[in-house]
A and B are shown apart, each in its own frame.
Chain A
Amino acid sequence: MDVLLQLVVSGTATGAIYALAALGFTLLWQASGTINFAQGEFVMIPAFVMLFFINVTGTPLWLAFLLTCGVSMIVLGWGFKRGVVDPLIKHGVIPLVIATLGLSIGLKSVVKAGYSAEAHPFPSVLPAGQFDLGGLAVSYADVGTLVIAGAIVFALQVMLNKTVTGRAMQAVAQNTDAARVLGINVKRMVLYTFLINAVLAVVAALLVTPTYLAKFDMGDAIGQKAFFAAIIGGFNQTRGALLGGVLIGILENLVGHYISPAYKEGVALVLFLAVILFRPEGLLGKTEERKV
């Protein structure tokens, strides 16, 4: 029983990181109809930017994190929106999907050329070791990851539901035309979504890179699992992304331990297929009707 609980705790922590990246998928989709297949690389780039600040300028990790949030908001938030999404979104989803796939390859190539294809160590913001919780050995890193990821998600939910800006963003996500008629600055709200996505990616990078190690292709698995998590939970629900991420994290751990690590990587895919077949709107998603 202890082992099962330990697996659930560490799986939830891993899943919370998937959820952060998955949240970005759902936010961008709701606000602007963007599917960003470079989401994994949006986690990888901040990891290397933080490394740059730490190794080259000698900045401490916390300051490197804050500086990277700024860089990420400018480059992966504003820059991505203005440079890739705005020119392409008017042509439909497919050109944008293809463009983000290309962007994913391009970003990997740039990092590989600049930083080499080797993995690089990344400092952990959380301490190593474990503590006893009612007879259960729980690691500080797992609890820390859960607390940080949970706090970010909670803050995001509060912002979206309790603030004027958050409600305006939701209004844009639900009906852009109606939001515009109500006087909401739609362009600005969409920009905020991109900026939030960029910050979520930096937090995910901070939490996941000590384990994944900073490497040009580290975003492949994260991006893929975040996409699956978003679909499983419901692409039009931020809470769905959270559920999808945690579900994948826990099931991966259980399958890896009780069946075989060889099947672990397939868990997300099997869940994804099951959801697509039996509940295409996702576990918490709502059916959407669109004019064709």
Chain B
Amino acid sequence: MKNIVMTIAVAALCAPLLAAAQQGPVPIVGIVELSGAGATAGTNFDNGVKLAFKEINASGGILGRKIDYTSLDTQSNPGVAKALAQKAVDQNAYVVMGPVFSGSFIVSMAETKRAEIPNFTGGEAANITQQGNPYVFRTSFTQSTAMPKLARYIKDKVGAKTIAMIWVNNDFGKGGRDTMQKALDAQGIKVVADVSTDPGQVDFSSAVLKVKQSGADAVFVYTNEEESARALRELKKQGYDKPIIGETTLTGQKVIELAGDAANGAIAHVGLTADAPEPAIRAFDEKFTKEYKYKSDHNGMKGYSAAYVVKAVTEKVGKFDSKAFAKALHGAKLSVKDNPGILLDVTFDNNGDLDRESFLVKVVNGKQVVTETLPPVSAK
């Protein structure tokens, strides 16, 4: 009898606390590259997420609750990313955003999977969503979606029969190189120079020399932001005059800023660009530029749209339940009409991969110019 009374008393005392916890801010944690080789990508992604949650909180939050977003720096180090993923779990994160680098994400996602917390990534490595992790969701295309589109463009529009590849030897670059090789093979384009470079590499003189020696009709550059800028500068320095083609990163805003004139003429397939002729993206571009005093690259858009995906799906589920959220997002179709923050109509498949429109862009006078809008893969 005494025990029952005690239990009721404790429950009565705790009830207001539990109620307060259920009405208080919802913790969402960002595990992002705020320093190290991935600082550009991570900072942009983080800024995008922050801007979106700031807007969401200003308009009343999600289901009436504010979002408490905190970002943690992985230092672009997979080991640190894994430890921070555990920290995010300890903080009872509803959703985890990041890391952006595929290499870090592949290591850290085991922690969020164990805790059954949905985890968004900016990583593009194909193997991220091929491991049967039901809590992984992309904010950008997988390489297996993007590379075939690009290979087709190289064959049909550029008219290249041979190509040289410069790629960065990490999970992102290796995955991209392997996927691109298959896509080029399928189009009958021969790779005549396969040049691996190191993450954080500074000097691209010998890499560019190899490309020039190969006599390829074009070069495909697949490296991270800073390395892309250095590669473009070296290509210009050595007077390379054939088409320079890449995927997303090569023509990113930060790359253009870092490479200066050397970025002019570079062509890339991009999943997201702040220069896309879409009203929702134009609105985002204005807000982001006003908030941070610089133009967002694709990573900023990834973070921003992912935060709005969290809002849309949570409202669809009707409660803050991480497991139910992951379940609802598989196979979800979200439209810009209902959720302008997602920027483009998007669908998620059962692996967590997404599908939406994409763009072909060319850098002209230091700006991305959209030359073509490509339909979603599922639309074909």
User: How many A-B contacts at CB < 8 Å in the complex?
Assistant: 89
Please pick, from A119, A120, A129, A265, the residue contacting B198 in the complex, using a CB distance under 8 A.
Answer: A265
Please pick, from B203, B230, B254, the residue contacting A118 in the complex, using a CB distance under 8 A.
Answer: B254
Q: A117-B43, A211-B202 are in contact. Are A261 and B209 (CB under 8 A)?
A: no
Q: Residue on B with the closest CB to A260? A: B196
- The contact string, 1 if C-beta is below 8 Å from chain B, for chain A 111-127, is 01000111111010000
- Complex Cα distance, B202 from A253, in Å, reads 12
Number of B residues contacting the other chain (C-beta, 8 Å)? Answer: 35
Q: Give the interface SS of chain B, mostly helix, strand, loop or mixed.
A: helix
- The contact string, 1 if C-beta is below 8 Å from chain A, for chain B 250-268, is 0000100111111000000
Q: Residue on A with the closest CB to B239? A: A130
Please determine whether B226 and A213 come into contact, CB atoms closer than 8 angstroms. Answer: yes
Q: Residue on B with the closest CB to A127? A: B237
- Complex Cα distance, B202 from A10, in Å, reads 13
Please pick, from A121, A137, A262, the residue contacting B257 in the complex, using a CB distance under 8 A.
Answer: A121
Contacts of B259 in A (CB 8 A): 121
- 6 interchain residue pairs of minimum CB distance: A257-B206, A117-B35, A117-B39, A256-B206, A10-B205, A130-B239
**B190 part of interface (Cβ distance < 8 Å):** no
Please determine whether A257 and B202 come into contact, CB atoms closer than 8 angstroms. Answer: no
- Complex Cα distance, B202 from A7, in Å, reads 15
Question: Could you write out 6 A-B pairs with CB less than 8 Å apart?
Answer: A10-B205, A117-B39, A118-B43, A121-B229, A128-B236, A261-B201
Contacts of A215 in B (CB 8 A): 226
Question: What is the minimal beta-carbon distance from A241 to any residue of chain B, in angstroms?
Answer: 20
**B169 part of interface (Cβ distance < 8 Å):** yes
**A159 part of interface (Cβ distance < 8 Å):** no
Tell me the residues in window 313-341 of chain B with beta carbons closer than 8 Å to chain A beta carbons. none
- The contact string, 1 if C-beta is below 8 Å from chain A, for chain B 10-46, is 0000000000000000000000001110011001000
With A121-B260, A139-B237 known, 4 other A-B pairs at CB within 8 A are A117-B39, A121-B259, A257-B210, A265-B198
Tell me the residues in window 238-278 of chain A with beta carbons closer than 8 Å to chain B beta carbons. 252-253, 256-257, 260-262, 264-265
Contacts of A265 in B (CB 8 A): 198
Q: Which residues of B contact A (CB under 8 A)?
A: 34-36, 39-40, 43, 169, 196-198, 201-203, 205-207, 209-210, 213, 225-226, 229-230, 233, 236-239, 254, 257-262
- Complex Cα distance, B208 from A254, in Å, reads 14
Q: Residue on A with the closest CB to B200? A: A221
Number of A residues contacting the other chain (C-beta, 8 Å)? Answer: 35
Q: Residue on B with the closest CB to A249? A: B203
**A6 part of interface (Cβ distance < 8 Å):** yes
Please determine whether B258 and A261 come into contact, CB atoms closer than 8 angstroms. Answer: no
- Complex Cα distance, B201 from A123, in Å, reads 19
Contacts of B196 in A (CB 8 A): 260-262
**A67 part of interface (Cβ distance < 8 Å):** no
Please determine whether B169 and A118 come into contact, CB atoms closer than 8 angstroms. Answer: no
Contacts of B40 in A (CB 8 A): 118-119
Q: Residue on B with the closest CB to A212? A: B202
- The contact string, 1 if C-beta is below 8 Å from chain B, for chain A 85-117, is 000000000000000000000000000100011
Q: A116-B43, A119-B258 are in contact. Are A257 and B209 (CB under 8 A)?
A: yes
Please pick, from B34, B43, B202, B237, the residue contacting A128 in the complex, using a CB distance under 8 A.
Answer: B237
- The contact string, 1 if C-beta is below 8 Å from chain B, for chain A 1-13, is 0010011001000
Q: A260-B196, A262-B169 are in contact. Are A129 and B209 (CB under 8 A)?
A: no
